[in-house]
């Protein structure tokens, strides 16, 4: 059975979170991912916000019953929990994912302009393991008004599209640096 666009996004997200490639996620993985994000933040305020946001994400997955008896979440359980408990409600996305975006915007806006330049955006994804050529192409898609920068609102819209939209052509599908696989 073919995956829906939402399931495709969460499959991609699972693979991104599964940094060690063992096919499952644990609380330690989310804490480690929080550290990866915190490393791109220059100030302790953003570092703490990013760490806390990823622990909260794990806690919400726990509330959804995603971890098995060994405290692991496989791809199917992750996709189901994301679809039914996180992406099913815009308020949950707001509570869970938007703090990450808000902290990233504060951390990455190195020139204080209130926007992300292509260099700032690509630098972030390079630190997160995404090829700069791929994240550069993603930047072009997420810069909706063609201004050469991504505003806070554009970044938040991309997040909402990634987690909530079923539109396979939505620019937010490029959030992790590449488009969704066609399937």
pLDDT surpassing 60 at residue 153: yes
User: Rounded to two decimals, what is the model's pTM?
Assistant: 0.83
The pLDDT of residue 182 is 45
Residue 178, pLDDT > 80, answer: no
Tokens for 134? 């791929």
pLDDT, mean of residues 74-89:
89
Distances (CA, A) of 167 to 6, 43, 70, 123, 180: 9, 36, 36, 28, 11
What is the C-alpha separation between 31 and 56, in angstroms, rounded?
A: 10
Average pLDDT, the chain: 86
Please name each of the domains of the chain with its CATH number: 5-165 (1.10.238.10)
């Amino acid at each position: 059975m073919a995956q829906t666009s939402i399931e495709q996004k969460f499959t991609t997200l699972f693979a991104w979170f599964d940094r060690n490639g063992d096919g499952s996620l644990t609380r330690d993985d989310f804490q480690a991912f929080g550290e990866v994000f915190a490393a791109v933040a220059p100030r302790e305020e953003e570092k703490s916000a990013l760490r806390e946001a990823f622990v909260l994400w794990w806690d919400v997955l726990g509330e959804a019953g995603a971890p098995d008896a060994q405290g692991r979440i496989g791809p199917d359980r992750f996709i189901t929990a994301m679809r039914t408990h996180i992406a099913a409600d815009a308020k949950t996305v707001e509570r869970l994912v938007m703090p990450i975006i808000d902290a990233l915007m504060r951390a990455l806006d190195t020139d204080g302009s209130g926007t992300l330049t292509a260099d700032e955006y690509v630098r972030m994804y390079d630190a997160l393991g995404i090829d700069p050529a791929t994240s550069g192409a993603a930047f072009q898609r997420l810069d909706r008004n063609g201004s050469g920068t991504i505003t806070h609102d554009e970044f938040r819209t991309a997040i909402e599209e990634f987690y909530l939209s079923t539109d396979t052509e939505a620019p937010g599908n490029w959030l992790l640096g590449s488009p969704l696989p066609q399937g």
